[in-house]
Structure 1
Amino acid sequence: MAKRIATKIGDVFSVQISETEKRYMQLIAIDLTQLNSDVIRAFKKKYSINDKPKLEEIVKDEVFFYAHCVTKFGIKLNLWTQIGNIEDVGDIRLPLFRGSRDSGKKINNEVIKVSENWYVWRINDENFTPVGKLEGNNKKADLGLVVNPYDIVDRMKTGQYNFFYPSFE
């Protein structure tokens, strides 16, 4: 029988991003308003594949991005490794997410490439706030889709997702 994978808030994961480098991410919350998905924060610093930094050092790093995903799937797919757990998950009121009501829509058979129909929210915020055109700090909001683990790794490698979603500019 296959072993059941369990993850919990505070878990830290190592993600290999090249033959010689890795980054880390941490499960910081469960967003009940976004399909009960895990919310992770990925850290900016790259480490040598052989480095073994302390958890306290990892979570003090600058946040690269926040995302919704299913951390268990990443483990099952051997895309990341659970390395430990630490209570320090940062301020979970900080992440701001965005979504577009234009995603997947077309005008005259053309996919909408730039949306002016955005909404933003924070973790477990039941009031997704319509904002129309993204302005100010809302432009810094992370995409709020539940992202598959392969896309999380791509973003950790390249700094961006490799799938299409409307832009705001």
Structure 2
Amino acid sequence: MWALIIIGVVLVVLVLWAVGVYNGLIRLRNLVQEAWRQIDVELKRRHDLIGNLVETVKGYAAHERGTLEDVMKARSAAMAGGQSPAQQAQSEGLLSQALGRLIAVAEAYPDLKANQNFLALQQELTSTEDRIAAARRYYNANVRELNTRVETVPSNIVAGLFHIGRAEYFEVEGEERDAVKVDFGQGTPPQA
């Protein structure tokens, strides 16, 4: 009789433990999904700002058609839905490179550099880039926590039973790690 009671208590404890681990994994998975949605919101804001920036530059630099088209193509690719975090990071990296070339075009147009709309859009874009970086850090921290739980014993047993897998990090790869450097002539004076 005591053996049945002990086995029953052990089974109840195991079930309660498994439920607790499962709930923790689901909480982490939901945090990862929420963090990804925050990144998505900021990326959409960035895409909208880039569209407005391109329109502003068009008025001043109509013959820079190739650069403008590159930015719009990269923007369209970045806005495409259904991308994994790694694919989204790659698309955003290409967009950042094209955007850097667009901003560099402004160096040749003093009127554009002084345009209040252009300056406001550029400032908003910088602010948005900062928010994307913060959201990416938050997302990656949650991914790290989920992946650690999914891979470590004993929670990996529950994760395997309920098919809770690892999440992808949102990382910028390769040369995109370097920030685009733009000088509007306010740095060092030109050499004579």
TM-score normalised by structure 2 residue count: 0.21
Higher strand proportion, which one?
A: 1
Higher helix proportion, which one?
A: 2
TM-score normalised by structure 1 residue count: 0.23
Larger gyration radius, structure 1 or structure 2: 2
